[in-house]
Amino acid sequence: MIIQWLGHACFLIAFSDGRVLMTDPFGPEVGYPRPAYPADVVTVSHQHFDHNAVKQFPGRPRVIEGEGCHVLEGITITGVPSFHDSSKGGQRGKNTIFVIEAEGLRVCHLGDLGHVLEEEQVEQIGRVDVLMIPVGGFYTIGAGEAVRVVEQLKPKYVLPMHYKTSYIDFPISTADDFLSRFPGCRREQELRVTADSLPASAQAVIIELKK
């Protein structure tokens, strides 16, 4: 499995059989370069312009939204309900956490999670090998809450997302505060993961922008 970051909350996951999954595609208003990468499957955590711009990308992918289990020949995607804020959706509505299971790995994309997880959600999510987690705050959990969620889920790889960069003017923070809690953070062009190559404890990785 190869994971690349396209900006904001959008990752590209390439499977060994050639299929590609994209998470939370963003619209042109966000500011990141628009990648011209087709995907076979797209997950959308919620209906905001910076997460649901499926038509901005080439191809005609299968779009996965909302809670429930979706099975796609060797790939199982489970949507776990959550909220975009800490007031049960009162400010920003609902959010779907996606657990993507393939090749003996479990990848969890938290979308625009706005709160620390409930015990039931932790149980629904289950084992996590790779965690894609928002860390910029304001619209989502910030650094402190993100660290707590990492402690709850105990992933092997932690991939920060939804943080301030030079491409965007959203009122969110950089990843620096979050990363200060993870000495030895790596920076990579992409993350190559197999079920037998996982680290013993949580390893934070900043994936450089794929242009």
Q: Quote the pLDDT of residue 52.
A: 67
Higher pLDDT, 37 or 63: 63
Residue type present at position 193? V
| Token representation of residue 11 | 């990752």
Q: Quote the pLDDT of residue 153.
A: 98
Q: Quote the pLDDT of residue 29.
A: 86
Q: What is 2-207's CATH number?
A: 3.60.15.10
For 171, residues 6+ apart whose C-beta sits below 8 A from its C-beta are 138
CA distance 206 to 191: 9
> pLDDT tens for residues 151-186?
999 999 999 999 999 999 999 999 999 999 998 899
What are the structural domain ranges in the chain? 2-207
* E runs forming strands in 119-195: 130-134, 157-161, 186-188, 191-192
Angle at 171 between CA 170 and CA 173, to 5 degrees: 105
Overall average pLDDT of the 105-114 stretch: 96
Which of 161, 29, 144 is CA-nearest to residue 107?
161
Residue 36, pLDDT > 90, answer no
SS3 130: strand
pTM (predicted TM-score): 0.94
Higher pLDDT, 138 or 131: 131
> pLDDT tens for residues 45-103?
977 666 667 777 777 899 999 999 999 989 999 999 997 766 676 666 689 999 999 99
